[in-house]
Amino acid sequence: MKPNDPAPGPEILAGFTAALATGAIRIIDLTQTLGPDFPSIVMPPEIGQSRAFRMEEISRYDERGGAWYWNNLSFGEHTGTHFDAPIHWVSGRDLPNSSTDTIPVADFIAPAVVIDCSKESAADADFLLTPDFIKAWEAVHGKIPPRCWVLMRTDWSKKTDPAAYQNFDEVGQHTPGPDPDAVRFLLNERDVLGFGTETIGTDAGQAAHFLPPYPCHYYMHGAGRYGLQCLTNLDLLPPTGSSLIAPPLKIQQGSGSPLRVLALVPSSQAGASRP
């Protein structure tokens, strides 16, 4: 909308809700179920650990509370399908509005593109997304617009065996992610809003050995941009044309939060991201 356009009338939302009601816009849930069985991030055992998701009953219609069922929850901010705020990384520590309670809410609803790396990731668990791969995708689907989520589809979320999902061997984790050049390209050349993955981090499993270590965290958060990880159902999104609703919990000075990620997809486009 340009500044000189007249203010939109009430019909602008009516059209949207009508499209939801008729199914012209489909809602796709990109969220893994938050429970104790979903794999949690692994850190070297001597350093600080993120708590895995745990749920303890307060009462269940019993002597602990007559007619009601409820639970106490505990988990790290970076558990299950979750959002990474810029303050999560040291590179973003001094940015304004960089924690879950201060990020501008307009950033929580934004368009998304999906880059399908599923075949490549199936062939090589250490597959890295490169600028050339992104440019080849753009040659088919058009240039990535600014302030847009870039989602890396790997079909990793289809690995229901937790050991296969984590994919550790004696030298660490083997999961796909972006290489440092790709992150720099997405930020500097395309001004993306954030990067989303199906794996347990936005960075590749071996990214501790990259320069800089964990480039997606380092550059994205250093630029005030966001991360989404442990996403699922990316195979149901079109390469372009979807929008995400991804607001984290409003945690005071939060570095991230589990969240429900919903994708809005024009029904004509819902299906698969492979062209």
Partner 1 sequence: MSETIKRPKRKNPILKTRAPTLPPDRRSRIALGLVRGAAMGKLELQCCAACGAVQYPPREACVRCLSAELEWTVMSGRGELVSETTLHHSQELFFRERMPWRLGLVRLAEGVSLVVHLDARCGPAPSPVIVEAVLDRAGQAALVAKPDDGNTALADEPKLRNFTSDPRFRKVLVTDAKSPVGQAVVKAVLEAGADLVWAGHCEPWKNPPGWPAIAQLPKVTLVPLDVTDTKSVNELAAELGFKVDIVINTSEHHRTFGIFGRAGVETARAEMETNCFGLLRLAQAFGPVMQSRGADGETSAVAWVNLLSIYALSNFPQHATYSASMAAALSVAQALRAEMRVAGIRVVNIFPGPIDDEWNQLLLPPKLAPSAVARAIVGALEGSVEDVYPGDIAQDWLARFRDNPKALERELGR
Shortest Cβ 171–partner 1 spacing (Å): 13
Residue closer to partner 1, measured from CB, 32 or 273: 32
Helices (H), the chain: 11-22, 118-123, 131-141, 162-166, 180-184, 215-222
The answer to whether 5 contacts partner 1 (rule: CB under 8 A) is no
Measure the CA–CA gap between 117 and 178, rounded to whole angstroms. 11
Spot the catalytic one: 78, 88, 141, 217: 88
The answer to whether 64 contacts partner 1 (rule: CB under 8 A) is no
Instruction: Quote the tokens at residue 78.
Output: 């970076």
Q: Binding partner 1 by CB under 8 A: which of 91, 98, 99, 167?
A: 167
Q: Binding partner 1 by CB under 8 A: which of 19, 52, 249, 251?
A: 52
Q: ∠ CA 257-84-272 to the nearest 5 degrees?
A: 95
Is 82 catalytic? The answer is no
- Whole-angstrom CA distances from 105 to 28, 34, 97, 191, 246 are 21, 23, 10, 18, 10
Tell me which stretch binds partner 1 (CB under 8 A): 13-21, 26-34, 165-173, 205-213.
165-173
Tell me which stretch binds partner 1 (CB under 8 A): 39-47, 61-69, 116-124, 147-155.
39-47
Q: Binding partner 1 by CB under 8 A: which of 12, 42, 90, 208?
A: 42
C-beta separation of 121 from 166 below 8 A: no
The answer to whether 13 contacts partner 1 (rule: CB under 8 A) is no
The answer to whether 60 contacts partner 1 (rule: CB under 8 A) is no
Size of the site for partner 1 (CB under 8 A): 19
C-beta separation of 167 from 175 below 8 A: yes
C-beta separation of 254 from 77 below 8 A: yes
Strands 65-74 and 149-153: unpaired
Interface positions with partner 1 (CB under 8 A): 36, 39, 42, 46, 48-49, 51-52, 54-57, 161-163, 165-168
Residues carrying an active site annotation: 88
